């Protein structure tokens, strides 16, 4: 499982000219699932994401989590995080099948939603993602269990 985490001042996802998810200060997260991912990886990264201390404290140090600042999450499904790029045309055979990934994405969003408010993009849709990266701060989180 892979997450591309971006600290944002605001972010939104649009599908067919309609905003389907929108946040102010918080984290915009691209979420990708590999062919062997399960709820175990989702549980681990949901806890990690909500506790990740990448927001500034009163001393200007990255010492607060999105939960600490009262921020929100915008989760965007992104199977292309599992692109295999040995050749010039990417292959996505390492990504989890769409029917399984949809279920796991919903599960991951619900786990994150236990601790913080969550908005999402739309799985399988052509999405336009807008964001104002704050910092910029962008972090890659990955977890694979054997």
Give the CATH number, domain containing residue 54. 3.50.80.10
- Give the distance, in angstroms, between the CA of residue 139 and the centroid of all CA atoms in the same chain: 11
Task: Note whether residue 22 is domain-resident.
Answer: yes
Task: Note whether residue 142 is domain-resident.
Answer: no
Q: Show the CA angle centred on residue 130, arms to residues 113 and 42, nearest 5°.
A: 30
Task: Note whether residue 109 is domain-resident.
Answer: yes
pLDDT given for residue 146 in this prediction: 57
Task: Note whether residue 143 is domain-resident.
Answer: no
In angstroms, the CA 5 to CA 62 distance is 15
pLDDT given for residue 133 in this prediction: 96
Task: Note whether residue 145 is domain-resident.
Answer: no
- Catalytic residue numbers read 78-80
Task: Note whether residue 92 is domain-resident.
Answer: yes
Query: What is the domain range of residue 13?
Result: 2-137
Tokens 């309609």 sit on residue? 18
Can you give the pTM of this predicted structure?
0.94
pLDDT per position in the chain (146 positions), as tens?
Answer: 999 999 999 999 999 999 999 999 999 999 999 999 999 999 999 999 999 999 999 999 999 999 999 999 999 999 999 988 888 998 888 999 999 999 999 999 999 999 899 999 999 999 999 999 999 999 999 987 65
Q: Considering its fold, how many domains does the chain have in total?
A: 1
Task: Note whether residue 144 is domain-resident.
Answer: no
């Amino acid at each position: 499982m892979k997450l591309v985490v971006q600290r944002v001042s605001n972010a939104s996802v649009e599908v067919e000219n309609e905003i389907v998810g929108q946040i102010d200060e918080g984290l915009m997260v691209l979420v990708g699932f590999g062919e062997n991912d399960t709820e175990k990886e989702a549980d681990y990264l949901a806890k990690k994401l909500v506790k990740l201390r990448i927001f500034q404290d009163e001393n200007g140090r990255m010492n607060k989590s999105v939960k600490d600042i009262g921020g929100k999450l915008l989760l965007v499904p992104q199977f292309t995080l599992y692109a295999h790029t040995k050749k010039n045309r990417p292959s996505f055979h390492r990504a989890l099948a769409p029917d399984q990934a949809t279920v796991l994405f919903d599960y991951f969003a619900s786990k994150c939603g236990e601790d913080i408010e969550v908005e999402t993009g739309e799985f399988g849709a052509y999405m336009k993602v807008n964001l104002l990266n704050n910092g910029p701060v962008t972090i890659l989180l990955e977890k694979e269990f054997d």
